[in-house]
């Protein structure tokens, strides 16, 4: 028995040696071959495919998880994830932390692969990065879209909202077409000029040939009272692993939890496809404050049931006699923290969903202070404001520096300004700020593209294939 065991161990050693030798030969031959090809002028768009083929062959051949230690395996897995997310330097550094990497053939080959993958990348044209956005997703189209003829809100649901089914298909199709999520801040290179003033310039994002960068945002992730009973999730919570998921109240009143909105759906997608995101970037969540955030009733206005508050708030307070605002805030803060740790960012959507263009300076100031008081303590400071109702502070191009509302918002720390724009991409670098137009991938856009009356999403997906079969015809605006 003992003897047999020993023999087996010896066998493993032989196996490793053979494997290492194979890798060395294959690796050396490949690297030599690739070097020759590059010398012969292999086109930049062809290099990605070569590296891809090599990566596939290596991951199948070199990596016997039974033969290596847990630590090493974890380190290699982390490096692989970093490389998949286009952080090749991070991947190489991770490998360098493994003891004995200098003489380890497998690790050396991996590092070479990362170097080649990095060398094959090309810079993204930051001015051509598209920005798409969603609202809260529809979980149950039957509940959201019923009675289009008589229910004004059901029409709004149909026009402005995307269903889970549609979101999943869009995300998959964009991924299949080579789209990679980048963060808003990934677009910006911040430096200081000779006077010590901040300067914003397009950053360098390197991606493999054929990949396209895009930014994603989600507006109004507050689960307003007005969404109740329309088939939307009710709040964001954390699962047993501390990851953000949703609570959904079914038609019969029973509560279920799961991936019922953009955040957990995209998290799961990127977990499965790490190359769908540039260095783990997720989206930017734009929050108002008047109904609280993420489904928690965190706003000061809930403290006075007899105050000048909406009927919806009064009714909610009556139905929740045990309401404790500090508990709500603590929960919201916990969820926001977990989201940030997962790569999500937060933006102001103005506290009261105001029309920034129509509002006067006093209104903008009062509104901004409410956001600072009620939302910022829960999600942290932000430099990003995503305007509501598609409005903006001024026409496209440099903002008018004399505009009082612009001056005020700059003083309040905002330097990234987003509006709504149907164009394929719209990015503007001011001296020390960024403006970006965002495309609404909502029911209106999807429906009118699906029936051929609009043509402004074909670069992202085929609307006729992704439209939810349960979506009724969308009334014109």
Query: Which residue, 277 or 288, has its beta carbon nearer to Zn ion?
Result: 288
Query: Which residue, 342 or 442, has its beta carbon nearer to Zn ion?
Result: 442
Interatomic CA distance for residues 6 and 221, integer angstroms: 61
Query: Which residue, 286 or 457, has its beta carbon nearer to Zn ion?
Result: 286
Of residues 212-241, those binding Zn ion (CB under 5 A): 219-220
Q: How far is the CB of 386 from Zn ion (least distance, A)?
A: 8
Query: Which residue, 258 or 390, has its beta carbon nearer to Zn ion?
Result: 390
- Token reading at 448: 């009118």
Query: Which residue, 298 or 440, has its beta carbon nearer to Zn ion?
Result: 440
What is the CA angle 336-339-343, rounded to 5? 135
Query: Which residue, 133 or 316, has its beta carbon nearer to Zn ion?
Result: 133
Q: How far is the CB of 312 from Zn ion (least distance, A)?
A: 17
Give the residue among 84, 90, 35, 89 at the shortest CA–CA distance from 59. 84
Q: How far is the CB of 288 from Zn ion (least distance, A)?
A: 7
Query: Which residue, 172 or 363, has its beta carbon nearer to Zn ion?
Result: 363
Q: How far is the CB of 362 from Zn ion (least distance, A)?
A: 22
Sign of the torsion formed by the C-alpha atoms of 416, 422, 428 and 430: negative
Q: How many helices (H) and strands (E) does the chain have?
A: 16, 16
Q: How far is the CB of 393 from Zn ion (least distance, A)?
A: 17
Interatomic CA distance for residues 63 and 392, integer angstroms: 53
Phi, psi dihedral angles at 151 (to 5 degrees): -110, 110
Q: How far is the CB of 368 from Zn ion (least distance, A)?
A: 16
Enumerate residues 6+ apart whose C-beta is below 8 A from 214: 129, 130, 131, 132, 174, 179, 180, 181, 182
Pairing of strands 244-249, 235-238: antiparallel
Query: Which residue, 112 or 348, has its beta carbon nearer to Zn ion?
Result: 348
Asked if 442 is part of the footprint of Zn ion (rule: CB under 5 A), the reply reads no
Which residue's Cβ has the minimum distance to Zn ion?
A: 219
Residues 384-403, one symbol each (x = binds Zn ion by CB under 5 A, - = not), give ----x---------------
Interatomic CA distance for residues 260 and 233, integer angstroms: 6
Residues that bind Zn ion (rule: CB under 5 A) add up to a total of 3
Q: How far is the CB of 161 from Zn ion (least distance, A)?
A: 11
Residues 132-151, one symbol each (x = binds Zn ion by CB under 5 A, - = not), give --------------------
Neighbours of 202 (CB within 10 A): 17
Q: How far is the CB of 353 from Zn ion (least distance, A)?
A: 6
Query: Which residue, 216 or 388, has its beta carbon nearer to Zn ion?
Result: 388
Strands (E), 259-340: 284-287
Classify burial at 368, counting beta carbons within 10 Å of its beta carbon; exposed 0-12, middle 13-18, buried 19 or more: buried
438: enclosing H helix or E strand: strand 434-440
Q: DSSP secondary structure string, 317-361?
A: HHH-TT--HHHHHHHHHHHHHHHHHTT-EEEE--TT---TTTS-H
Of residues 24-43, those binding Zn ion (CB under 5 A): none
Phi, psi dihedral angles at 392 (to 5 degrees): -155, 175
Query: Which residue, 314 or 355, has its beta carbon nearer to Zn ion?
Result: 355
Query: Do residues 416 and 433 lie in contact, with contact meaning Cβ atoms separated by under 8 Å?
Result: yes
Q: How far is the CB of 286 from Zn ion (least distance, A)?
A: 7
Pairing of strands 235-238, 188-192: unpaired
Residues 349-388, one symbol each (x = binds Zn ion by CB under 5 A, - = not), give ---------------------------------------x
Of residues 235-294, those binding Zn ion (CB under 5 A): none
Q: How far is the CB of 134 from Zn ion (least distance, A)?
A: 11
Residues 179-218, one symbol each (x = binds Zn ion by CB under 5 A, - = not), give ----------------------------------------
Q: Which residue ranges make up the site for Zn ion (CB under 5 A)?
A: 219-220, 388
């Amino acid at each position: 028995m003992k003897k047999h065991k020993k023999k087996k161990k010896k066998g493993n050693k032989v196996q490793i040696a053979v494997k290492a030798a194979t890798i060395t030969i294959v690796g050396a031959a490949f690297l030599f071959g690739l070097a020759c090809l590059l010398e012969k002028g292999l086109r930049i768009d062809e290099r990605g495919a070569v590296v891809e083929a090599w990566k596939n062959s290596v991951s199948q051949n070199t990596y016997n998880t039974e033969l290596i230690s847990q630590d090493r395996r974890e380190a290699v897995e982390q490096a692989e994830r970093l490389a998949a997310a286009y952080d090749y330097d991070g991947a190489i550094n991770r490998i360098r932390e493994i003891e004995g990497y200098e003489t380890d053939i497998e690790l050396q080959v991996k590092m070479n692969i990362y170097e080649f993958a990095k060398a094959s990348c090309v810079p993204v044209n930051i001015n051509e990065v598209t920005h798409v956005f969603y609202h809260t997703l529809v979980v149950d189209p039957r509940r959201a879209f019923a009675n289009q003829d008589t229910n004004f809100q059901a029409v709004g649901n149909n026009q402005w909202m995307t269903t889970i089914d549609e979101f999943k298909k869009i995300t998959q199709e964009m991924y299949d077409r080579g789209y990679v999520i980048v963060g808003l801040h990934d677009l910006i290179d911040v430096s200081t000029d000779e006077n010590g003033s901040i300067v914003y310039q397009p950053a360098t994002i390197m991606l493999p040939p054929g990949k396209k960068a895009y930014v994603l945002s989600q507006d109004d992730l507050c689960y307003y009272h007005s969404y109740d009973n329309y088939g939307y999730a009710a709040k964001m919570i954390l699962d047993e692993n501390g990851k953000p998921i949703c609570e959904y109240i079914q038609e019969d009143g029973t509560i279920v939890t799961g991936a019922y909105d953009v955040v957990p759906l995209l998290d799961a997608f990127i977990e499965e496809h790490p190359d769908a995101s540039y260095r783990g970037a997720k989206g930017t969540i734009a929050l108002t404050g008047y109904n609280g955030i993420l489904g928690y009733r965190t706003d000061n206005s809930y403290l006075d049931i007899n105050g000048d508050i909406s009927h919806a708030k009064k009714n909610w307070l009556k139905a929740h006699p045990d309401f404790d605002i500090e508990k709500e805030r603590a929960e919201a803060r916990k969820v926001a923290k977990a989201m940030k740790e997962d790569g999500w960012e937060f933006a102001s959507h103005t506290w009261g969903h105001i029309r920034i263009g129509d509002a006067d300076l006093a209104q903008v100031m009062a509104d901004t202070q409410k956001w600072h008081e009620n939302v910022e303590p829960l999600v942290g400071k932000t430099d990003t404001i995503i305007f509501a109702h598609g409005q903006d502070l001024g026409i496209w191009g440099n903002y008018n520096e004399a505009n009082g509302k612009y001056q005020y918002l700059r003083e309040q720390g905002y330097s990234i300004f987003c509006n709504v724009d149907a164009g394929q991409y719209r990015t503007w670098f001011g001296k020390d700020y960024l403006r970006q137009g965002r495309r609404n991938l909502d029911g209106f856009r999807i429906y009118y593209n699906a029936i051929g009356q609009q043509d402004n999403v074909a670069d992202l997906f085929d609307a006729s294939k992704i439209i939810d079969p349960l979506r009724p015809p969308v009334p014109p605006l």
